[in-house]
């Protein structure tokens, strides 16, 4: 079974620029999550999708971050404009149905904002 795929793996941008990350979850997984992991901290949930609907985006900085999951499969996370404090690893995870089942994580995208 293929795991969660993410791209790019690394991205370096200057502040105020825009950036987008892509995630392809495990086939058949209805729930998709985006996490932000700042160096030295645990992952923090940014947004959770159930199929193509948003379940929880309470910690998403909506003035600069946006995410979509068209057709309930792939997802993109965008930052516009980026700030220095957005430097982090952005992790995508998926699970079968979003109840109490296991979340499977992708390798992450490491973003550096200069």
Closer residue to another protein in complex, CB, 17/22: 22
Is 102 an interacting residue with respect to another protein (CB under 8 A)? yes
Is 39 an interacting residue with respect to another protein (CB under 8 A)? no
Q: Contacting another protein (CB under 8 A), which of 29, 46, 60, 108? A: 108
Closer residue to another protein in complex, CB, 40/71: 40
Within 8 A by CB and 6+ apart from 46, the residues are 34, 35, 36, 57, 59, 60, 65, 67, 77
- Which sign, positive or negative, has the C-alpha torsion 57, 95, 35, 8? negative
Applying CB under 8 A, the residues found at the interface with another protein are 4, 31, 40-45, 48, 50, 55-56, 91, 93, 95, 98-108, 110
């Amino acid at each position: 079974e293929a795991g969660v795929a993410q791209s790019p793996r690394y991205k370096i941008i200057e502040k105020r620029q825009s950036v987008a990350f892509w995630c392809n979850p495990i086939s058949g997984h209805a729930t998709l999550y985006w996490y932000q992991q700042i160096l030295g901290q645990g992952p923090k949930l940014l947004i959770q999708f159930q199929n193509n609907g948003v379940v929880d985006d309470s910690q998403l900085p909506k003035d600069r971050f946006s995410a979509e999951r068209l057709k309930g499969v792939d997802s993109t996370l965008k930052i516009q404009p980026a700030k220095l404090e957005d430097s982090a690893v952005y992790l995508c995870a998926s699970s079968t149905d979003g109840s109490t089942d296991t979340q499977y994580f992708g390798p992450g995208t490491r973003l550096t904002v200069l």
